[in-house]
């Protein structure tokens, strides 16, 4: 494991190394407002033989399932053969999108029994993730399981055990994980670009009904077209209700709220960049401020996490904030702040800002001293000018951006998944990584509903 981020001096010495695989030659950061440098996309074409073609099954043909499948099918050598969903309208939509000849079923077990399915996308409500993922692995299928990997952190160990027993590839679908932005941010952090990490500031502001999960309900939805009893699964029995089926994210019985839908993405990125196992404590607050539509999860959430000192990072704090009624407009951000700079990390870009700690005495503090002492102190600070000039070489702002033909983080994640199936690499987000991201995110729910801080063992991956 790498040790905690090195000093500014080490970073300046390594700036020529930072461009390895990114640009043709070395560079130094400068004080110009924007110094844009292209990140290099995945090199080379995907090579595969006819025997290497991956036959894919989709379990859950909803919004995310469709986006997942579209990205997966961009990777050469991947063919969709089967689709499962509990609503017949989505099975009809699958035919519209991908043509005739697919197995269409409302029973995922029928899909798993098919010999023409090598891998599956599990894009179902959170409370079904564990069961279907484990059954798919036992059936000999590779699995791409949407985030969060589990609805309850305690369930994650069963998936880890099932993957190890099966020997099959299992990747968690936090799609930004394999992005160029994450890769560059990790490289910069390990080179000491921001010094020792001090805090993370993550926020997600939304101002639309769709952003608040009020998804449209189709006019033909009824007990004949929707298998509601199967949807409920292990959740409490309730009468048929379209809203619960089509807007399941709004209910604790089926989803994980903003923690499982949004926090988990940030934790995946954070853990990857810092090579971190996660936090040890969380404190959450918030409430249901606007979307009083029957949901039982908050639409405003603020959670604060404590990370311990490890071999790869200093002790630091993280602030996660989500607002589904942001009257100022939508937007989001992920900003790592260190002792010597900060990074704003996106899937296709990284903005690195490096500044010098202001230690020069100013008028505010000097006013309490005599004129004679003021002159002496100024003279002492002037002797330090050569050292400060050297430090200034690393100051300024640099923006790293992906090229225009970059296929995106979602494609990258599926490229990684299918390349791992072909035996060319390891997955970037295996079940252990997935549990650490989900477990950390779900601490927000534990704390919120208990109305108290909660503690977590990031190594053993369990609540304390």
Residue 80 lies in a domain: no
Residue 293 lies in a domain: yes
For the purposes of burial, counting CB atoms within 10 Å of the CB of 431, is it exposed (0-12), middle (13-18) or buried (19 or more)?
buried
User: By three-state DSSP, how is residue 42 classified?
Assistant: coil
Residue 106 lies in a domain: no
The pLDDT of residue 378: 84
Angle at 424 between CA 422 and CA 426, to 5 degrees: 100
Pairing outcome for strands 454-457 and 396-401: unpaired
Query: In angstroms, rounded to a whole number, what is the distance separating the alpha carbons of residues 48 and 202?
Result: 39
Query: In angstroms, rounded to a whole number, what is the distance separating the alpha carbons of residues 325 and 208?
Result: 8
Total domains in the chain come to 1
The pLDDT of residue 32: 43
Token output for 235: 């959740």
Cα-only R_g, the chain: 25
Does the pLDDT of residue 14 top 80, yes or no?
no
User: By three-state DSSP, how is residue 256 classified?
Assistant: coil
Query: In angstroms, rounded to a whole number, what is the distance separating the alpha carbons of residues 319 and 444?
Result: 11
Residue 230 lies in a domain: no
Q: Which residues of 121-135 are buried (b: 16+ CB within 10 A; e: fewer)?
A: bbbbbbbbbbbbbbb
Residue 463 pLDDT grade (very low, low, confident, very high; cuts 50, 70, 90):
very high
Taking the alpha carbons at both ends of the chain, their separation in whole angstroms is 26
Angle at 139 between CA 135 and CA 143, to 5 degrees: 70
Residue 99 lies in a domain: no
Domain that holds residue 263: 8-42+184-224+257-407+431-463
Residue with tokens 């009020």: 214
By C-alpha distance, which of 216, 211, 212 is closest to 242? 216
Residue 395 pLDDT grade (very low, low, confident, very high; cuts 50, 70, 90):
confident
Q: Which segment of 48-52, 189-193, 285-289, 433-437 scores lowest on mean pLDDT?
A: 48-52
Cβ atoms 105, 113 nearer than 8 A: no
Query: In angstroms, rounded to a whole number, what is the distance separating the alpha carbons of residues 290 and 192?
Result: 43
The pLDDT of residue 359: 66
In the chain, % of residues over pLDDT 70: 86
Residue 286 lies in a domain: yes
Token output for 136: 């798919």
By C-alpha distance, which of 298, 307, 266, 267 is closest to 448? 298
Does the pLDDT of residue 9 top 60, yes or no?
no
378 CA to centre of own chain? 49
The pLDDT of residue 37: 64
Tell me which DSSP letter residue 458 carries. Answer: T
Residue 379 pLDDT grade (very low, low, confident, very high; cuts 50, 70, 90):
confident
Pairing outcome for strands 331-338 and 281-287: unpaired
Residue 71 lies in a domain: no
pTM for the full model? Answer: 0.89
* Residues ≥6 apart with Cβ < 8 Å to 350: 181, 184, 185, 188, 343, 344, 399, 400
Find the CATH number of the domain harbouring 337: 3.30.360.10
User: By three-state DSSP, how is residue 31 classified?
Assistant: coil
CA distances from 337 to 69, 303, 344, 353 (A): 36, 17, 9, 10
Query: In angstroms, rounded to a whole number, what is the distance separating the alpha carbons of residues 264 and 436?
Result: 9
Q: What value does the mean pLDDT take over residues 75-82?
A: 96
Query: In angstroms, rounded to a whole number, what is the distance separating the alpha carbons of residues 247 and 218?
Result: 12
Tell me which DSSP letter residue 335 carries. Answer: E
Cβ atoms 280, 456 nearer than 8 A: yes
Cβ atoms 456, 279 nearer than 8 A: yes
Cβ atoms 312, 272 nearer than 8 A: no
In the chain, % of residues over pLDDT 90: 77
Q: Which segment of 2-16, 200-214, 311-325, 331-345 scores lowest on mean pLDDT?
A: 2-16
Pairing outcome for strands 119-122 and 54-59: parallel
Residue 322 lies in a domain: yes
The pLDDT of residue 45: 56
φ, ψ for residue 129, nearest 5 deg = -60, -50
Strands (E), 85-135: 103-105, 119-122
Average pLDDT, the chain: 89
Cβ atoms 209, 295 nearer than 8 A: no
Query: In angstroms, rounded to a whole number, what is the distance separating the alpha carbons of residues 192 and 195?
Result: 5
**Strand ranges of the sheet holding 36-38, from the earlier edge strand across to the other edge:** 36-38, 396-401, 349-354, 341-345, 331-338, 197-205, 316-323, 300-307, 281-287, 454-457, 462-463
Query: In angstroms, rounded to a whole number, what is the distance separating the alpha carbons of residues 133 and 146?
Result: 10
């Amino acid at each position: 494991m790498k040790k905690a981020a090195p000093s500014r001096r080490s970073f300046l010495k390594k700036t020529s190394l930072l461009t390895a695989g990114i640009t043709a030659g070395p560079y130094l950061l400068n004080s110009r407002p924007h110094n844009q440098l292209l990140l290099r996309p995945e090199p080379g074409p995907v090579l595969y033989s006819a025997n290497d073609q991956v036959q894919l099954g989709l379990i859950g043909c909803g919004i995310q399932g469709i986006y997942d499948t579209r990205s997966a099918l961009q990777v050469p050598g991947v063919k969709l053969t089967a689709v499962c969903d509990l609503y017949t309208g989505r099975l009809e939509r699958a035919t519209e999108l991908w043509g005739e000849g697919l197995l269409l079923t409302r029973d995922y077990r029928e899909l798993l029994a098919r010999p023409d399915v090598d891998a599956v996308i599990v894009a179902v409500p959170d409370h079904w993730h564990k069961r279907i993922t484990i059954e798919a692995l036992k059936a000999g299928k590779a699995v791409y399981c949407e985030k969060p990997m589990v609805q309850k952190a305690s369930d994650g160990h069963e998936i880890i055990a099932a993957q190890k027993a099966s020997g099959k590839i299992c990747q968690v679908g936090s799609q930004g994980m394999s992005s160029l932005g994450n890769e560059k941010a990790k490289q910069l952090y390990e080179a000491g670009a921001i010094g020792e990490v001090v805090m993370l500031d993550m926020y997600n502001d939304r101002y639309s009904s769709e952003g608040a999960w009020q998804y449209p309900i189709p006019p033909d939805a009824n007990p004949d077209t929707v298998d509601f009893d199967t949807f409920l699964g292990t959740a409490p029995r309730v009468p048929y209700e379209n809203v619960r089926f089509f807007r399941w994210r709004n209910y604790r019985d089926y989803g994980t709220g903003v923690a499982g839908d949004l926090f988990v993405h940030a934790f995946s990125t954070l853990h990857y960049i810092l090579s971190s196992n996660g936090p040890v404590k969380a404190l959450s607050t918030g409430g249901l401020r606007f979307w009083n539509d029957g949901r039982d999860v908050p639409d405003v959430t603020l959670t604060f996490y404590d990370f311990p000192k490890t071999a790869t990072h200093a002790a630091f704090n993280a602030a996660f904030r989500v607002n589904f009624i942001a009257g100022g407009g939508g937007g989001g951000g992920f900003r790592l702040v260190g002792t010597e700079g900060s990074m704003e990390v996106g899937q296709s870009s990284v903005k690195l800002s490096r500044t010098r700690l202001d230690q020069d005495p100013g008028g505010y503090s000097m006013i309490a001293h005599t004129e004679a002492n003021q002159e002496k102190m100024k003279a002492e600070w002037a002797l330090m000018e050569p050292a400060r000039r050297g430090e200034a070489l690393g100051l300024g702002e640099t923006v790293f951006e992906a090229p225009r033909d970059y296929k995106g983080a979602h494609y990258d994640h599926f490229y990684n998944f299918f390349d791992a199936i072909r035996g060319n690499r390891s997955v970037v987000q295996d079940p252990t990584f997935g549990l650490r991201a989900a477990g950390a995110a779900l601490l927000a729910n534990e704390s919120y509903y208990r109305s108290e801080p909660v503690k977590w063992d990031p190594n053993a991956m369990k609540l304390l």
